[in-house]
Structure 1
Amino acid sequence: MTTRALFPTQFYEAPLGDDALVAELAEACRELASEDRAGRTWSRDHGYRGYTSYASLDDLPMRDPRFADLVRLLNRHVAAFARDCGFDLARRLKLDSMWVNVLKPGGTHSGHIHPHSVVSGTLYVAVPPGSGALKLEDPRLPMLMAAPARPDTFVYAEPAEGGVFLWESWLRHEVMPNAAKHERISISFNYR
């Protein structure tokens, strides 16, 4: 008898590889949070506890060379992840969107996916202790019907400052509440 694991879900974790750039990005994110009035308004109107540029700025790599430097590094990480996933690509994946998140204490982001993308990810810029994990959901969950409970239905990936997480964009995930006393800063992105 043989039991095989079929259709595994890949999740990528690695350091960005440039601590000086991470420090520069922390400054850039704080600058955006103070200057981007539209982003602050959208965050307030949508109950986002903190700031996100998700709905206000779509040109971060052109706006600030620090984000352009980040994209050059992320391109390598995403290419490595695509190889690990066994993607049959006619051309390399390209950055589609990038946004800043400054999550205040108590802030969270409910479960979601990233439609119209292939790979999604986050670079963690500032991660105070207790600032919350990324909760990943078993993609089979909607189809398990009468299956007994499993201990790994949800996986909690603990971020580290300067760390990159990548996953396929269909993987449902959520940001657990920030229980730290300080803001958690991250930069999220999609590739297609």
Structure 2
Amino acid sequence: MSRTLFATRLYEAMIDDEQLLGELAHSIRSFAEEDEAGKCWSREKAYKGYTSYASLNDLPRRDPAFDDLKRVLTAHAVRFAKDLAWGVKPKLDSIWVNLLKPGGHHSAHIHPHSILSGTLYVEVAKGSGPIRFEDPRLPMMMAAPVRDEDAAEELRPFVAVEPRPGLLLLWESWLRHEVLPGTAKADRLSISFNFA
């Protein structure tokens, strides 16, 4: 007999509000054209596309669609916190937009000073790079044998999730993740966020 210990949870939901997703897509494209500080930061960091990560910190006050999104995200974060058996109500701490050009990627990272992080995919072309999560125990697996290719998802060292429009993912902020390069010929629009 075996038991599963120390589970790492990934929350998935679909946001099926096409009007909201359309408004968010329009806003992302507008920010990508008008936000000079964000464009400059993206160029300096060799980000293939545009992100408001280091430039705009007031999206829910700046844009009514993001204020609506804030309420949606908070409701899902509260649900996930209950699933994690937390006795706290997560509060949205930061939110930013990403317009990733074809072939773009994000190297592996975590989100310090947060408890929950996530991404909402707004527009995704076929072949957009998946987000890949890393088993947090990986650095301690010094002599672990390679897993079978058909190993159960919870036993794999990496799990990739294919993006699709409306997909909302939430995870604990310490979980290392990356965006792999894709083969899509169109931009990938997403919104990332942290809860404290």
TM class by smaller structure? over 0.9
Q: Which 5+ residue runs of structure 2 have no aligned equivalent? A: 150-155
- Give the aligned partner of residue 65 of structure 1: 64
- Give the aligned partner of residue 36 of structure 1: 35
TM-score between both structures, scaled by the size of structure 1 = 0.96
Whole-Å separation in 2 of the counterparts to 1:107 and 1:70: 25
Whole-Å separation in 1 of the counterparts to 2:35 and 2:171: 28
Q: 1:20-51: CA deviations, max 9, x gaps?
A: 10111000100000000110000000010000
TM superposition shift of 1:143? 0.8
SS of the residue corresponding to residue 22 of structure 2 reads: helix
CA contact (8 A) 1:138 1:153 kept: yes
CA contact (8 A) 1:178 1:184 kept: no
RMSD: 0.9
Whole-Å separation in 2 of the counterparts to 1:33 and 1:169: 26
TM superposition shift of 1:88? 2.5
Overall identity of the aligned pairs, in %: 59
Whole-Å separation in 1 of the counterparts to 2:16 and 2:101: 26
Q: Which amino acid aligns with 1:164?
A: L
Structure 1 segments, 4+ long, off by >2 Å, are: none
TM superposition shift of 1:85? 1.2
Q: Which amino acid aligns with 1:179?
A: T
Higher mean Cα deviation, 79-88 or 128-137?
Answer: 79-88
2:115 to 114, 118, 125: 118
Whole-Å separation in 2 of the counterparts to 1:120 and 1:149: 29
Whole-Å separation in 2 of the counterparts to 1:97 and 1:178: 26
Q: Which amino acid aligns with 1:185?
A: L
TM superposition shift of 1:17? 3.8
- Give the aligned partner of residue 98 of structure 2: 101
- Please show how residues 80-159 of structure 1 align to structure 2 within 5 Å: 80-89=79-88, 92-150=89-147, 151=149, 152-159=156-163
Kindly tell me the number of residue pairs found equivalent between the two proteins.
189
Whole-Å separation in 2 of the counterparts to 1:84 and 1:131: 30
TM-score between both structures, scaled by the size of structure 2 = 0.94
Whole-Å separation in 2 of the counterparts to 1:70 and 1:147: 42
- Give the aligned partner of residue 166 of structure 1: 170
Q: Which 5+ residue runs of structure 1 have no aligned equivalent? A: none
